Chains A and B, each alone.
Chain A
Amino acid sequence: MATPKALQQPASLRLASASFLAFWCLIAAFPIFWIAVMSFKSPVDAFSANPLNVVFGPTTRADGKGLSIIDIVIGLVVLIAAVRLAFTQLPKWVGRLSPPGMAIIGWLVGAAAYAIAFLIVFFGILPVFLGGLNAVTGPLGAPVLGLTTEHYYAVWIENGFWRNFQNSLIVTAGVVTISLTVGTLAGYGLARSGSNLAFWILIIALIFRALPHSVLVAGYLPVFINSAEILRPILGENAPTLYGQPLAVIAVLVAINQPFTIWMLRSFFQNIPNELDEAARVDGCTHFQAFRWVIMPVMWPGVITTGLFSFLLAYNDLLVTSLLLDAQNQTMVPAIAGYFNRETTTTDQVEAVAAAVSITAPLFLLVMIFQRQIVSGLTAGAVKG
């Protein structure tokens, strides 16, 4: 459809709009891109005042750590091939191999297997192969771009960041599963009931959504620290101290997340026509059976979207996890806050940068895969608001 002439914009306006957009994209992406670059350089380069030094890393290169032209070309080819494969072949494999009805588990296993295979090829096999190639190709094999992965090695292996990663995994997986289970039930009930009670539950949930989390944590802390004594009369000698328990944090984050979850799921459920339930009820289903066998199968997009936002909340949380977990059980985000508080040498600082990039990488992948769901989730909340 051609634009009517009256609606066509003058070139100056189009230019201004395009350059504004380019400027915004630069501002949006630059800080993230920059920490990613910094994390691969030796401290002198990473904190150099000259941006060119940060990008090309002369000191890192002088230490003999760098990429040659061959490394860059072959690395890029492998990377692009891997991404293409993930988008074209992976869905087919998952579809063929996973048993019917288990598509979600199939996807999780498939994605994990693919990620592991990629890591082995990219960081295990490729460097050995390229090392041999660089040695025989002369000038093309000489390093041109300083790059080192030593900080990642220090963070993940030497400082035991994988333990924080494991804790983050436990907490986020727990929060997403429980809050979706509890939230879909409540969201469905609230969407299908027009009673005053349902309205008041939603309003109170909205007020709870606005509460600063520190208010709630001030309520938990004394109870959690002394929980062994409080619970002893009920549970006997095995009464646990809830402070420092990932399970307690999961429960807390699920509850904090509940108001948002039920509002969002309710708006998704309202988009599903009521006639669907009624038909199922006429055929003799109870409310619960109608929910389980008729509504849930068409609700997956909404559930996935809400799950993404639960994931973000649990993954990004700093306040609750840093106050309710002790040092052994810390998740990644409070752990990094500890990192840069104790930073003394520039090496520590670059390790903090590497840890920050490690935390961001999964989120980056998430936006890449689920961009459409994130956008639909944001707008669903607003339109029904």
Chain B
Amino acid sequence: MKFRTLAWFVGPSVFMMLLFIAFPLASVFLQSFQITQPIVETVEVETCTPGFLGQTCVTETKTTPVLDENGNPTTTTEWVGLLSYARVLQLEQVGAAIASGTWSSILAIDFWKALRFTLTFTLVTLPLVIGLGLAIALAVNNAARSIRGQIIFVSLLPFIITPVIGALSIRWLFYGDGIVTAMLEGMFSTDISVAANGWAIEMLMMFYRVWHVAPFAFVIFYAGLQTVNQDTLESAIIDGASRFERLRFVVVPHLMPLIIFIALIHLMDAYRAFEEVIGFSSQAHRITLQWLTYDLLEPDDAGNRAISRASASAMLTMIGIVILLIPLLRRTWRDHKGSAH
């Protein structure tokens, strides 16, 4: 295909990606070094109230925004270098915490708290998703052909459901006097309050994520299991391999590319976890990196959005994604080089 033809075909798509992905990315990068704020001036205002034997006058200085001819506050944008990053990272407090040996106080800073949780969340759910997905795939492959369709249908539900709704449906089982909590309370005859306990919420959020993603892993592994070489399996049996050894040395190596694929997709998606925080209302206890940016972008009580700090936190989140992706990119590049020769 000639270059011109290719350009006609991919043009619209590339244009949309440039306009709505590459351009915002560049502008976020620039914004993270800038601060836009309204110009304020301090004015002395004398307010007098009528009082006995004369007026009581109070002079106070007020800061008011400078207005332009249309009555809108004028704003100024200045380059501040790494100030926004410093405000997000708060390295001084981190340094002080390390110097004094109080590690836990680092986790009181929003960014480090979010980083700690996001990484734990991603790395703990990863093996669980792969393990559970593989287990379901093996079990379904073992089940009678006639009921497989129904099982796949039920299994797809957690994957297809709107993430916030999925999180909510689990939250309603546990929060307050949800039936599962009530059952646990009955079993151990204690009082459990899930919503007030950070670790309990963290476990629930991980449980939700595994519940949500395992069907995806299952479907892919299940498709992979259909293509396992039966001859290899049979020769393994003749060689006296036990059931577990066959799984370990024949089936799992066959599925390895799929396991890597799922691991990568899961790393990308779990790292940008966001809906869990909304669904479980966990912002008082556990936050994720993407939620941090979201929170900075939301207007605060005075209606201001902390755009520069949000941009800085967004760029920091992105650095993490790039680090996660480097192995994948190197592999794809090698494949491309390999196929070219």
Contact = CB atoms under 8 A, between A and B. Distances in A.
Interface of A: 6-7, 9, 13-14, 17-18, 20-21, 24-25, 27-29, 31-32, 34-35, 38, 47, 49-51, 54, 181-183, 185-186, 188-190, 192-193, 195, 197-199, 201, 203-223, 251-252, 254-256, 258-259, 262, 287-288, 291, 312, 315-316, 318-319, 323, 333, 336-337, 340-341, 352-353, 356, 359-360, 363-364, 366-368, 371, 374-375, 378-379, 382-383, 385
Given A185-B13, A207-B325, A366-B160, A25 B165 contact: no
B33 to A, nearest CB: 13
B297 to A, nearest CB: 6
Interface stretch (B23-31, B57-65, B194-202): B23-31
A183 B168 contact: no
Contacts of B278: 318, 337
Nearest to A261: B13
Given A31-B166, A219-B311, 8 more contacts: A21-B151, A25-B151, A25-B154, A185-B12, A207-B329, A213-B290, A218-B310, A316-B163
B-side interface mostly: helix
A210 B21 contact: no
Contacts of A186: 9-10, 12-14
Contact of A256 (B8, B21, B136, B176): B21
A323 B139 CA distance: 42
Contact of B294 (A25, A190, A319): A319
Nearest to B141: A17
A198 B162 contact: no
Contacts of A185: 9-10, 12-13
Contacts of A219: 23-28, 31, 311
15 contacts: A9-B142, A17-B139, A20-B135, A34-B173, A186-B14, A189-B10, A193-B1, A206-B328, A210-B324, A215-B317, A219-B27, A221-B305, A258-B21, A318-B274, A375-B223
Interface of B: 1, 3, 5-6, 8-10, 12-14, 16-17, 19-28, 31, 36, 132, 135-136, 138-140, 142-143, 149, 151-158, 160-166, 168-170, 172-173, 176-179, 182-183, 211, 215-216, 219-220, 223-224, 237, 243, 257-258, 261-262, 268, 271-272, 274-275, 278, 281, 289-290, 293-294, 297-298, 305, 307, 310-311, 314-315, 317-318, 321-322, 324-325, 328-329, 332-333, 336
Nearest to B317: A212
Contact of B5 (A214, A287, A319): A287
A242 B163 CA distance: 27
Contacts of B16: 182, 251, 254-255, 258
Question: What 9 A-B pairs have minimum CB-CB distances, sorted nearest first?
Answer: A219-B24, A189-B9, A255-B20, A186-B13, A49-B182, A31-B169, A214-B293, A212-B272, A379-B223
Given A193-B1, A218-B311, A262 B13 contact: yes
Nearest to A220: B24
Contacts of B3: 195, 197
B168 A221 contact: no
Given A193-B1, A212-B321, A323-B298, A203 B329 contact: yes
B169 A32 contact: yes
B20 A215 contact: no
Given A215-B293, A374-B160, A29 B154 contact: yes
Contacts of B224: 382
B272 to A, nearest CB: 4
Given A212-B290, A367-B156, A316 B261 contact: no
B274 A319 contact: yes
Contact of B164 (A255, A337, A363): A337
Given A54-B179, A212-B290, A218 B20 contact: no
B294 A31 contact: no
A318 B164 contact: yes
A382 B173 contact: no
A21 B14 CA distance: 44
Contact of A32 (B12, B161, B215, B219): B161
A134 to B, nearest CB: 31
B261 A371 contact: no
B177 to A, nearest CB: 4
A378 B139 CA distance: 19
A212 B31 contact: no
A329 B14 CA distance: 29
Contacts of A21: 136, 139-140, 143, 151
B2 to A, nearest CB: 9
A367 B153 contact: yes
A353 B169 CA distance: 8
Nearest to B13: A186
A197 B142 CA distance: 45
Contacts of A17: 138-139, 142-143
A224 to B, nearest CB: 10
Contacts of A50: 179, 182
B297 A364 contact: no
Contacts of A197: 3, 6
Contacts of B158: 28, 31-32
A255 B219 contact: no
Contacts of A251: 16, 20
Contacts of B223: 375, 378-379, 382-383
Given A201-B10, A212-B314, A213-B290, A368 B153 contact: yes
Contacts of B262: 382
B176 to A, nearest CB: 7
Given A201-B10, A359-B162, A223 B27 contact: yes
A361 B269 CA distance: 25
